[in-house]
Amino acid sequence: MSTVESNRDVPLAGGPGTVPVVPVASETDLVPTPRRSWRGVWLRALSLISLVAVWFIASLFFDESVLPGPIRVFGTLVSNLGDSETYFHLWTTVYRVVAGMLIAVVLGLVIGLVMGLSKFGEEFLDSWVLVAFTVPSVVYGILAILWFGLNDAAAIVAIGVTAVPAVAINMWQGVKAIDLSLVRMGQAFHFSRSAILRKLVVPQVIPYLLAALRYALGLSWKIATVVELIGLSSGVGYQLSYWFGLFNMTQVLAWTILFTIVLLLIEFVILKPTEYWLTRWRPSMQN
């Protein structure tokens, strides 16, 4: 029997009655975040099934040229996967997205850390970052094509420049949200600077970095398809433009679902396991 249970009723000093003691959370009530949650998997699956069901019902009221049904679209998607050209266009877009994100992460980290650690850096750069964040992504795509031509460099630069403000803002806020009392506690216990940075500072910033990566990934896919649609001759955006020109809604939806599946794979195969591993120190209540 635990201490809390054995002392649930404590005699009053001034009378025969008892007063209930409110149990408090002990270390056994705090457990690491579970690596796998089958309940979460089933809920996500149910959500996707519900979405497909709504799509199927809506398609019954429209012509196939306007909203084809999920059976026809997924059949076209499977047929596209049997064509090697599909993988070429998909890989081209993935390459541009990854290269652009590397630029965005490196520059965004540097800018965000400077703004978070330096008052001068914050006051000097905040207007630049906010203005860059409000400029539509299609503008960056047009400028990149005019500067670099119709090639991979235009798409990569447009992706990088578009996603830099998102990463910088998240890192800026993450650095400002660091609990300095933990840092002072580490100094009081004579932690080395590297230990304070590794055990107290970096773990607090990691959730903001992961949020920045997710936001930058979604933004990078959008700008990649926009740039490819505007003027490039390869990639998922080019395929969307091609089939749009032929008024083939089935192919447009099939390609849209294809790169959506790729995004989900990146999220649940790479980002989610990485998040669990990097934030495994965070406890969560069982109930």
Question: For residue range 253-266, what is the model confidence (pLDDT) as tens digits?
Answer: 999 888 888 888 88
* pLDDT above 70 coverage of the chain, percent: 82
0.85 exceeded by the pTM?
A: no
Of the pLDDT bands very low, low, confident and very high (cuts 50, 70, 90), residue 13 is very low
Say how many CA atoms lie within 13 Å of 59 toward its Cβ: 18
DSSP string, 218-262: HHHHHHHHHHHHHH-SSSHHHHHHHHHHTT-HHHHHHHHHHHHHH
Of the pLDDT bands very low, low, confident and very high (cuts 50, 70, 90), residue 35 is very low
Mean pLDDT of 192-221: 78
Question: Which residues on neighbouring strands pair with residue 11, listed in sequence order?
Answer: 18
Is residue 20's pLDDT more than 70?
no
Of the pLDDT bands very low, low, confident and very high (cuts 50, 70, 90), residue 102 is confident
Phi and psi angles of residue 54, each rounded to the nearest 5 degrees, phi first: -60, -40
Q: C-alpha dihedral over 97, 95, 224, 102, to 10 degrees? A: 30
Mean pLDDT of 157-181: 83
- The predicted pLDDT at position 37 comes to 56
- The predicted pLDDT at position 283 comes to 58
48-101: pLDDT as tens digits: 888 888 888 888 888 877 888 888 889 889 998 888 888 899 898 889 888 888
- The predicted pLDDT at position 201 comes to 72
- The predicted pLDDT at position 114 comes to 85
37-46: pLDDT as tens digits: 566 668 777 8
